[in-house]
Every structure is written in C-alpha cells, then in structure tokens.
C-alpha cells in the first residue's frame, strides 16, 4: 500500500498522502489550514441511485430532485437512466439529436455530447435490464452491484481512450455497433468530452488501489454472496464487463472496496438530509476515519435549497439546474483550524455530538467497516479506560486484603 501513494495528484490542495502500518494511507495537512477552508474537491468515478430513487436522479448532471415523481426523459430500454432535461438527455443519446454540421448557422449552438456518458450507458443498458430479473430482497447487495456495474463500465471506457475531443456531426459507426461492447476507434472520435471542472477526476485504476476487507468478512456474509455466484459471474462475463478469466473472488474484493470506501449520496430538502444512493470517489477515500474528525464532506450538487425550482408543463415541478451542473462534485472542508502535519479525517459514523462510548464506536466500525479504530480519540479513551480499570482492580485488591 505504501507504494501506491499518489501525492502528486494533490498538488493544488493543502494536503499530502502518507502511510502508517496501523491505519494504511491517509491525508496530512501540508500547511496550516483555517476553519472552513476547502481541502479537496473530487468528482465521482461512479454514482448509482437506489432503485426507488432512480427516477428523480439525473444520469448526466447527477442532480436529484426530491419534488419530482419522475423526470420526463429516460431510457425506455433499461428504465434505469433518467434525465432532468433535454440537454442532459441529449448528452447521453446523441444519435437522435445528430446535427448536420453543414446546415449549422453561425449562431446555432452545437449539441455537445458527453462521449464517456454515452459509452457508459451503451455498456450498461443491457446488463441493467437483465439485472432487474435478479430476484433478491437484499437492497444493500443490489445497490452495491448496481454501482459495480457502473464502475466496471469505466474500465472499458478508459481502455477506449475517451479523452479524444471532436465535434458531433461527423460520420459515426455507432448505429452498427449497438450490441457490441467492444469500442472501436470511429466510435471514440465522434464526441466532445465535456469536462470543465477543476475537481479531481478519478480513474478505474484508482479504484483498484483502494483497500478491500474481503478477507475479514465473516463466513455468513461470504456465504450470502456465494449463493449468487453463478448469476453474477454470468451477468458480468456475458456483458464483457469482466474478463473471461476473472474469478468470483476478484468480484468480491471489488464489492468490499465499494463497501469500505463508498460514500452515501444525499440530497438536502427543507433542512433535512435524505440518502438516495451511493458513489465512489477514489481520491476522497484517503480520508481515514476519526471519532473527532476535523473535516467534513459537502455535496453541493444535491443541495436543493440552492437550486431554483420552476413550474413546467403538466404542472410538474422540474429542476432548472443548468447553472448548477456540478456532476456530483464533492468538497471537503475544515471543521476547525488544523496545523501543518496534523492528520485530516472525516467521520464514517453518525455520532455528531460525540456521545457514543469507546466500545460502541469501535463495535460499529468493526461490524460495518471491518477495522479496529485507531484514531487519536479512541487511543486516548482506551488509555483512560485502562487506567480506570487498573485503579478499580487495585482498589478491589486492597479491599480484599
């Protein structure tokens, strides 16, 4: 793990990645940081809404509208990808909106397509349909696999060199390419990749470097997953998202990486937070947990209080979110002044008032994340606890003598 410290990636931020044997890789402040300062901004590698939230989540701009029953634009084939407006829909479905460049007038806006998004949908549309037939009640398992599908599609997109930029309107072979997950060169030269944010963008390789706790899983959890080995391996291999020689254990390590490093994605509505899915931000995964965290995550994109609502046709409340398309950007801010060299941490568990006792905190982290917390608060509390129980023992010995 210490060999995989990508410190150079974080040049523009006031942090470095370092390593310790007990806590793995983690962030430290490379200078003094002041309260409220942004220490890191990241874009997600992938996001997946929970099934019952998918109709209010925009596949393109990643906005969530809790006031809408369902967005009007969606993929009828998979019924999984919904879009908040036509512009977002067009970015994912460029064929229907193809513009003949010769007929384009000077003032006409070109349709800008997000090639990576288009390819991702092409690769996952079929699998998403088959996935709906997976008859399980385990919502957690289902949502983890949904996210894994999106992440594995990233691998193929990266292989296809998605960074090439070119205008839509040139001849495309996409129509002949409907069922093939193999991405040919012509396909990849047809779109503009829209990526204007300065937030850090992760890659599939970054995901692979994340920590897995698969080997620490209790047997009953392993058994639960094993029950679905045949269905899942068939699903991933038939869609070419997994290579033929991949083993189920490889898949379970990826599942564990999602569980140990995934972030809940929240919307804020009338002052309350609601969870609508999960996402993976590999660079943000260098934040270790602390029971007295000095940083917190803010997901700007989902803050409904900052997004204008406008009433559109059919009396349906829809988002007017063009100026807010942050594509799921998450930023991390300092919760207090932090001095150079101090570890930067966030909290993985809900204990806002710091009221949970040491044993409960550690038990929660062990059962949900499979690690024994070694944060400075737990170490201090543990020392005090030991001292107290030693004093009590001594007192009891004295009383008995």
Ligand X SMILES: C[S@@+](CC[C@H](N)C(=O)[O-])C[C@H]1O[C@@H](n2cnc3c(N)ncnc32)[C@H](O)[C@@H]1O
Give long-range contacts, CB 8 A cutoff, 24+ apart: 124-129: 124/78, 124/80, 124/149, 124/150, 124/153, 124/239, 125/75, 125/77, 125/78, 125/80, 125/81, 126/78, 126/179, 126/239, 127/235, 127/236, 127/239, 127/241, 128/78, 128/80, 128/81, 129/77, 129/78, 129/79
Using CB under 6 A, pick the residue from 10, 25, 62, 84 that binds ligand X.
25
- CA separation, residue 236 to residues 103, 124, 161, 246 (Å): 42, 10, 22, 10
Quote the tokens at residue 281. Answer: 């931000």
Minimum separation from the CB atom of position 377 to ligand X (A)? 9
- The residue among 290 and 301 lying less far from ligand X, judged by its C-beta, is 290
Neighbouring CB atoms inside 10 A of 87's CB total 18
Nearer to ligand X (CB atom), residue 6 or residue 274: 6
Tell me whether residue 162 or residue 288 sits nearer to ligand X (CB atom).
288
| Site membership for ligand X, residue 121 (CB under 6 A) | no
Q: Count CB neighbours of 139 within 10 A.
A: 11
Q: Measured from the CB of residue 378, what is the shortest distance to ligand X in angstroms?
A: 7
Question: Least CB distance from residue 265 to ligand X, whole Å?
Answer: 16
Question: Quick one: how far is CA 110 from the chain centroid?
Answer: 30
| Residue 375 within binding range of ligand X, rule CB under 6 A | yes
48 binds ligand X (CB under 6 A): no
Q: What is the helix (H) or strand (E) element at residue 78, kind and residue range?
A: none
Q: Where are the alpha helices (DSSP H) in 82-218?
A: 86-92, 115-131, 139-159, 185-188, 204-208
Q: Kindly tell me which of 168 and 373 has the beta carbon lying closer to ligand X.
A: 373
- Residue of 47, 124, 260, 299 that binds ligand X (CB under 6 A): 260
Structure tokens at 361: 């905190």
Selection from 375, 338, 370 nearest residue 356 by Cα: 375
Q: Is 261 in the site for ligand X (CB under 6 A)?
A: yes
The least distance separating ligand X from the CB of residue 342, rounded to whole angstroms, comes to 14
Which segment (83-91, 207-215, 321-329, 380-388) binds ligand X by CB under 6 A?
A: 207-215
Quick one: which of 211, 317, 320, 324 contacts ligand X (CB under 6 A)?
Answer: 211
Site for ligand X in 144-173 (CB under 6 A): none
Q: Which is nearer to ligand X, 90 or 212 (CB)?
A: 212
Query: Cβ of 155: how many Cβ atoms within 10 Å?
Result: 17
3-class DSSP state of 164: coil
Give the pair of three-digit tokens for residue 197. 């944010």
Sole binder of ligand X in the list 23, 72, 331, 377 (CB under 6 A): 23
Instruction: Select the residue interacting with ligand X from 268, 289, 361, 362 (CB under 6 A).
Output: 289
Helix axes 139-159, 248-261, angle to 10 degrees: 100
Q: Is residue 286 a contact point for ligand X (CB under 6 A)?
A: yes
Q: How far is CA 81 from CA 45, 113, 238, 266, 303, in A?
A: 17, 16, 21, 18, 21
Count of residues that bind ligand X according to CB under 6 A:
20
Least distance in Å: CB of 242 to ligand X? 23
Q: Which stretch binds ligand X (CB under 6 A): 56-64, 92-100, 210-218, 388-396?
A: 210-218
Supply the minimum distance, in Å, between the C-beta of residue 349 and ligand X.
Answer: 11
Residue found by looking up tokens 């470097």 in the block? 209
Which of 126, 186, 189, 374: binder of ligand X (CB under 6 A)? 374
**C-beta of residue 41 within 8 angstroms of C-beta of residue 202:** no
Rounded CA separation 389/360 (Å): 18
Considering only the stretches 30-38, 222-230, 272-280, 281-289, report the one whose residues sit in contact with ligand X under the rule CB under 6 A. 281-289
Residue 294 binds to ligand X (criterion: CB under 6 A)? no
Binding letters toward ligand X, positions 220-259, x by CB under 6 A: ----------------------------------------
- Check residue 215 for interaction with ligand X (CB under 6 A): no
Based on the shown chain and the rule CB under 6 A, indicate whether residue 288 belongs to the binding site for ligand X: yes
Which value, to the nearest 10 degrees, does the dihedral of the CA atoms of residues 339, 343, 349, 351 take? -30
* Cβ 26 to ligand X shortest distance, Å: 5
* Binding-site ranges for ligand X (CB under 6 A): 1, 23-26, 210-211, 213, 260-261, 285-286, 288-290, 369, 371, 373-375
């Amino acid at each position: 793990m210490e060999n995989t410290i990508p410190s150079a990636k974080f040049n523009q931020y006031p942090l470095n990645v370092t390593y310790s044997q007990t806590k793995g890789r983690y962030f430290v402040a490379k200078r003094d940081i002041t309260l409220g300062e942004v220490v890191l901004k990241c874009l997600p590698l992938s996001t997946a809404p929970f099934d019952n939230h998918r109709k209010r989540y925009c596949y393109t701009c990643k906005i969530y509208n809790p006031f809408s029953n369902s967005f009007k634009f969606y993929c009828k084939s998979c019924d999984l990808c919904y879009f908040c407006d036509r512009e977002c829909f067009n970015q994912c479905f460029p064929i229907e909106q193809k513009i003949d460049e010769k007929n384009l007038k000077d003032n006409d806006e070109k349709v800008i397509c997000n090639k990576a998004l288009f390819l991702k949908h092409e690769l996952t549309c079929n699998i998403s349909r088959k996935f709906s037939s997976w008859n399980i009640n385990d919502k957690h398992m289902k949502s983890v696999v949904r996210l894994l599908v999106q992440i594995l599609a990233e691998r193929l997109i990266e292989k296809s060199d998605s960074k090439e930029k070119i205008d839509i309107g040139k001849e495309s072979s996409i129509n002949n390419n409907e069922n093939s997950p193999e991405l040919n060169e012509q396909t990849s030269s047809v779109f503009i990749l829209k990526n204007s944010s300065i937030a850090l963008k992760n890659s599939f390789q970054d995901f692979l470097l994340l920590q897995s706790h698969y080997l620490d899983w209790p047997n009953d959890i392993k058994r639960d997953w094993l029950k679905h080995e045949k269905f899942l391996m068939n699903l991933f291999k038939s869609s070419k998202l997994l290579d033929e020689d991949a083993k189920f254990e490889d898949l379970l390590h990826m599942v564990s990486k999602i569980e140990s490093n995934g972030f809940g994605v929240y919307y804020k509505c009338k002052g309350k937070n609601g969870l609508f899915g999960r996402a993976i931000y590999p660079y943000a995964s260098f934040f270790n947990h602390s029971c007295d965290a000095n940083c917190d995550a803010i997901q700007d994109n989902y803050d409904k209080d900052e997004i204008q609502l406008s009433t559109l046709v059919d009396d349906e409340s829809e988002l007017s979110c063009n100026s807010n398309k942050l594509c799921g950007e998450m930023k991390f801010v300092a919760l207090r002044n932090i001095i150079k060299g101090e570890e930067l941490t966030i909290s993985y568990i809900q204990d806002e008032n710091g009221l949970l006792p040491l044993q409960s905190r550690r038990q929660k982290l062990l059962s949900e994340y499979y690690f024994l917390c070694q944060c400075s608060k737990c170490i201090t509390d543990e020392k005090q606890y030991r001292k107290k129980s030693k004093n009590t023992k001594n007192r009891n010995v004295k009383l008995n003598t």
